[in-house]
Amino acid sequence: MSATTAETASATPVPSTTAIVALSDGSDFSWRGVHVAHSLARTDGLALRIVEVALLPGDADMIRDSLQRRVDAELDGVDVTIDVLVQDSSIAATVANHVTAIAPGTTVVMSSVGRGRSASVLGSVAEDILRELHGPLMVVGPSVRNLEIGAATGQRILVTLDGSTESASAIAVAASWGIEHQMVPWLITVVEGDRDHPDGAADTYLARTAGDARRLTHHDVEFEVLHGQHPAQAIADYADADDVGMIVATTHGRGGLSRLALGSTAMSLVHTSPVPVIVVRPPHLR
């Protein structure tokens, strides 16, 4: 990892240690994200804040009562706060301003799909929310099977890299999550061809980057080169293993090294991944 890469990685906000924020729009789909956030909060001993945006001020009390009933019925073991916000300029700005007021860098968890009672159609605003936030966004896609995450130790947290400085922003976030949850960061990239024709440049890049990350974090960091014509599917297939807990990817970056053009792949990965994806926006694009 070059000096520039190291500086970029270290400048990336890492998960807050005060609370986990989950976004709801009242739909069952959105509550898949709430349950993932609940499992993380319970495992880490953190508070959980459930945030929903109301289209009209008069809807706020109804939404709050509905959320409270569902919290009482489905969530236990954590301190839950319900925040019902009235939409201001946009859903994304309303959410981001509220989250920033809670604590800059707070981890936000949301489903990639959902169409509930409010204006918040989560699947259509995920990227808008990420653009407004200063911290990582964990997105729970429709293919995620296990909503109870964070409890197992020794799992891998995959870090998608493409050789660019932007993609290296994911390393600090993955290292922080790995240390906090006893997960091993596993650097991956996708190249064309098959395993019978290994890509020496990709292997060298990942080995060097993993070595630099080990020295910076003083924790184990591993790597593997994947092969396939469709990067998002190759990563999702690789993540379909019992010991993979989550994936970290940046929204921008296109290194000349691999097929993993992250600018177009990160959100596609969300829809195919069997595990939640932590999406990171590089610092200079915020």
Q: What is the CATH number of the domain that holds 33?
A: 3.40.50.620
Identify the burial level of 83 via C-beta atoms within 10 angstroms of its C-beta, where 0-12 means exposed, 13-18 middle and 19 or more buried: middle
Residue 285 has pLDDT above 70, yes or no: no
Does 4 fall in a domain? no
Among candidate residues 140, 174, 206, the one where a domain is terminated: 140
Residue in the block written with tokens 């870090």: 159
Residue 180 has pLDDT above 90, yes or no: no
Does 210 fall in a domain? yes
**Predicted pLDDT of residue 159:** 94
Residue 16 has pLDDT above 60, yes or no: no
Please count the structural domains in the chain. 2
* Residue 2 DSSP SS3: coil
262 and 220 fall within a common domain? yes
272 and 159 fall within a common domain? yes
More confident residue, 179 or 113: 179
Residue of 104, 85, 84 lying closest to 93 (CA atoms) = 85
270 and 172 fall within a common domain? yes
Q: Which domain holds residue 257?
A: 148-285
pLDDT tens sequence across 157-170: 999 998 887 788 88
160 and 249 fall within a common domain? yes
90 and 47 fall within a common domain? yes
Among candidate residues 106, 140, 174, the one where a domain is terminated: 140
Q: How confident is the model at residue 268 (pLDDT cuts 50, 70, 90)?
A: confident
What mean pLDDT value characterizes the chain? Answer: 82
131 and 154 fall within a common domain? no
